[in-house]
Amino acid sequence: MITLAPDGLKDVRPPLSDADVEQLKAGDRVRISGVLYTARDAAHARMRALLERGAPLPFDVRGQIIYYTGPSPARPGEVVGSIGPTTASRMDPYTPALLALGLKGTIGKGCRGPAVREALRRHKAVYFGAIGGAGAVLSRFVRALEIVAWEDLGTEAVRRLEVEGFPAIVINDCWGGDLYETGMREFAREEA
């Protein structure tokens, strides 16, 4: 569900439908509340292996959002340690297949490749950016955490997070919009 808050930010609450995703535009600032699943390199490799042999994934991706992160360990009494995004493009080889299954959002940092951008358009999905390297601040928005699969992967295990007001920005929308392109074009005064 997407709602426009009085402060101009969009509140995002998974699960998301095609119609929800269509309301999000590159550059929109959002607050995400509800459930996120974490997965990064090693978990994606295992998910691909499951898909190749027709086995079910550790969670139903339909309508959901995957957060590319590997948190640092929680101190005693804390929910989580530092939990900022990792570079999304390393997950590019795996992402189109998950989007085809109904995954509606991913959160990371950095550019996505053309195959992912095309899959976002085709399957109506969105790529959010969270602030890379702001893991201490971002930890404040995580209310609960549990390991869903592959504890042996340590920080790379699949975790289910409950977040409240997690801040992000739409980088790639389902209409072909790309915040990195437009943002850089606005301020570029030098060719490299």
Partner 1 sequence: MREIHASVVTDAVKKLCIEANLELEPDVLRAFDRALARERSPAGRQVLEILKENAEVARTRRIPYCQDTGVVVCFVELGQDVHVVGGGLEAAINEGVRQGYREGYLRASMVRSPFDRVNTGDNTPAVIHVEVVEGATLRLMLMAKGGGCENRSKFRMLTPAEGLEGVKAWILECLRTAGPDACPPLIAGVGVGGTFEKAALLSKKALFRELGSPNPDPFLDALERELLERANRLGIGPQGYGGDTTALGIHILTYPCHITSLPVAVTIECHAHRHKEVTL
Q: Are strands 105-108 and 10-12 parallel, antiparallel or unpaired?
A: unpaired
User: Considering the rule CB under 8 A, would residue 95 count as an interface residue with partner 1?
Assistant: no
User: Considering the rule CB under 8 A, would residue 106 count as an interface residue with partner 1?
Assistant: no
Asked whether 85 and 68 are in contact (CB, 8 A), the reply is yes
Cβ 88 to partner 1 shortest distance, Å = 8
- Looking at the Cβ atoms of 83 and 163, the one nearer to partner 1 is 83
Q: Token pair 């978990």 is at which residue? A: 43
49 phi and psi angles, rounded to 5 deg: -60, -40
Asked whether 39 and 158 are in contact (CB, 8 A), the reply is yes
User: Considering the rule CB under 8 A, would residue 89 count as an interface residue with partner 1?
Assistant: yes
Applying CB under 8 A, which of residues 15, 25, 82, 113 lies at the interface with partner 1?
Answer: 82
**Which residues in the 130-159 window bind partner 1 by CB under 8 A?**
131-137, 139-140, 153-156
Cβ 142 to partner 1 shortest distance, Å = 11
The Cβ of residue 82 has, within 10 Å, a number of other Cβ atoms equal to 17
DSSP assignment letter at 131:
-
Cβ 22 to partner 1 shortest distance, Å = 23
Asked whether 16 and 61 are in contact (CB, 8 A), the reply is no
The helix/strand/coil state of 154 is helix
Applying CB under 8 A, which of residues 12, 20, 32, 70 lies at the interface with partner 1?
Answer: 70
Q: Give residues in contact with partner 1 (CB under 8 A).
A: 42, 69-75, 78, 81-84, 86-87, 89, 109-111, 129, 131-137, 139-140, 153-156, 169, 179-180, 182-190, 192
